[in-house]
Amino acid sequence: MVGNARDLVSQLKGLTKAGLRSEFQLFPGANHGTNATHSSVAALALAAAIGKNPSRDQDD
């Protein structure tokens, strides 16, 4: 499943110019059942940080 996730992110990278940012993050020790919790926490932290720090991908 990790390979499939990496492949998906590779395909999504093609949409960067359209404003979509994607990255792959592996949670060591997580499994199919616990990954949802790890992913949800990471997504909430990302959402809370939006607008607080300039993107490292932008020149400004």
| pLDDT 10s digits, 2-19 | 889 899 999 998 898 888
Residue 46 has, within 13 A of its CA and on its CB side, a CA count of 11
Where residue 55 falls among pLDDT bands split at 50, 70, 90? low
Residues 6+ apart with CB under 8 A from 56: none
* pLDDT beyond 80 at 22: yes
| pLDDT 10s digits, 24-41 | 889 999 998 999 999 999
The whole-number pLDDT of residue 59 equals 53
The whole-number pLDDT of residue 38 equals 94
